[in-house]
Homo-oligomer: A and B are copies of this chain.
Amino acid sequence: MAFRSEILIKLDKKGRVLLPAAFRDELPADDRGAFVLYHSPNVPGVVNGNSRLGFDAMLERLRAEALGPKGSLKVALDDEAFDPAGYLSAGARTIAMEPDGRFSMPAEFVEALDVADGVMLVGKVEKFQLWNPARWQARRAAEREKMAAFVRNLSAGDAGGEA
């Protein structure tokens, strides 16, 4: 289960989007047919996607780390305390696909992405992202720089480097 590649998919006039086969194949075998979309917690204009299992697992890890072992009761009762899992959940939607792998994109995500006729789907290992195609190009260019710098750093910090 690892999402890879970037794929540009049409957003048709009925608001439908195809989850590419490459991504569908990464959903759990017992839960194809539906997945989760949720707003990025810290980057406006980015929507994340994951399998229901993957999303729920992330929420669980989140609560475990944020609240400790006895957190479950507190989270269930305390409506005042900030609950990161609850926050993500509020910005998430379960998406059911048609048998052919298409789904109708909720208006809130169309707005957030500001897409009109195409969506860029990007694999990020344990999740995937939806981007406005143009914004993704910009982001990608910026990340290329960072990646190059990151690799340079790696070799600089190593003991002796390559032979």
Q: Which residues of A are at the interface with B, using a C-beta cutoff of 8 A?
A: 2-6, 22, 36, 38, 40-43, 46, 48, 52, 56, 58-59, 61-62, 65-66, 70, 72-73, 76-80, 82-94, 122-127, 129, 140, 143-144, 146-148, 150-153, 159-160
Whether A86 lies near B36 (C-beta < 8 A) is no
Contacts of A144 in B (CB 8 A): 87
Contacts of A88 in B (CB 8 A): 147
Q: Smallest CB–CB gap between A53 and chain B, Å?
A: 11
**Given A5-B90, A93-B22, A94-B22, CB of A83 within 8 Å of CB of B124:** yes
Whether A150 lies near B79 (C-beta < 8 A) is no
Whether A76 lies near B89 (C-beta < 8 A) is no
Bound CA span A82–B52, Å: 25
Query: Of B78, B90, B94, which one neighbours A42 at CB under 8 angstroms?
Result: B78
Query: Of B4, B62, B73, B152, which one neighbours A36 at CB under 8 angstroms?
Result: B4
